[in-house]
Amino acid sequence: MTASKRNTQFRDYTIKSGEMQEWLKEWREKLHPIRTKQGFRILGAWVIPELDRFLWIIRWEGKGSFEEADEAYYHSAERKAVQPNPARHLEKEEHFYIEPVFEQGAWTMKNPK
């Protein structure tokens, strides 16, 4: 995958035990709106309650790279103003760039390269 195509990330967060509901409230009410206002698309978000896991997919389709947009998000006054920082609920986080297996809108698999 070329750097210019690296615009979609799968994010896997392990939430501290007993803090999932507080995390979800803050993510829905504070973080999600800032992300979308800044041009990111949230393609989906899920929880695995028994594992304290929060999984989501985020895409950047604006100018510049995903990395540049993500850095601008974290350095924005609006994001910095979210206090206390919701990241306090995270025990672990992993980010992976992903690409589709199926063509957009199709149900047939892409030919391997």
Tell which CATH classification among 3.40.50.410, 3.30.70.100, 3.30.9.10, 3.30.420.40 matches the domain 3-97. 3.30.70.100
Read off the pLDDT of each residue in 86-100 and give the average, rounded to a whole number. Answer: 96
What would the pLDDT profile of 65-80 be if each residue is shown by its tens digit? 999 999 999 999 999 9
Alpha-carbon distance of 1 to 66, in angstroms, equals 14
Across all residues in the chain, what is the average pLDDT? Answer: 91
Neighbours of 99 (CB within 10 A): 10
32-36, 57-61, 64-68, 107-111, range with the lowest pLDDT: 107-111
pTM above 0.95, yes or no: no
Alpha-carbon distance of 73 to 15, in angstroms, equals 21
pLDDT band at 102 (very low <50, low <70, confident <90, very high): confident
